[in-house]
Amino acid sequence: MIDPDADQAIVEQLADLLRDRIRSGDLAPGALLPGEARLTEEYGLSRTAVQQAMALLRTEGLVSIDPTRGAFVCTSEPAETVTLLKGDTVSARLPTPVEQRELGAGDGVPVLVVFRADGSRELYSADRVRVGR
């Protein structure tokens, strides 16, 4: 449940509850999430708080939002593992529209930029990659 007196913001609390339902399989890939009206009523939150929680889950690549139909659980794709070698670095940022199209990245999903020690650069959609050493 949501605790307005907790140290954690209510937006984060709602995102955590929904994230847990997604990761547990209670909300399966492709499932429609409860609507804004239902969540505001069920948890006693403002519409803005619900929208912010959904936006947070969208940026994490867990949900996609269709303005006319609602929010859906994203289907998980197998994660590729990118191995970092000595001298390699990685950073995250939002993609340009061209990069988003080329990578097939969802709205709000960041990209990981791998800078190799040899000067080359690789770009990955952050929801489809793991970085390891």
Do 69 and 99 sit in the same domain of this protein?
no
pLDDT tens, 98-133?
998 898 877 778 899 999 999 999 999 887 788 887
Is 15 a domain residue?
Answer: yes
Domain-located, residue 5:
no
| Mean pLDDT, the chain, whole residue set | 90
**Which has the higher per-residue pLDDT, 32 or 76?**
32
Would 2 be classed as within a structural domain? no
Q: How many domains does the chain have?
A: 2
Q: What is the pLDDT of residue 27?
A: 93
Q: Quote the domain boundaries for residue 44.
A: 10-73
DSSP for 32-65, please give it. Answer: BPPPHHHHHHHHT--HHHHHHHHHHHHHTTSEEE
Give the predicted TM-score (pTM) of the model: 0.61
- Check residue 66 and give its pLDDT: 82
CATH at 26:
1.10.10.10
pLDDT at 78: 58
3 falls within a domain: no
Residues 87 and 106 occupy one common structural domain: yes
Q: Are residues 91 and 41 in the same domain?
A: no
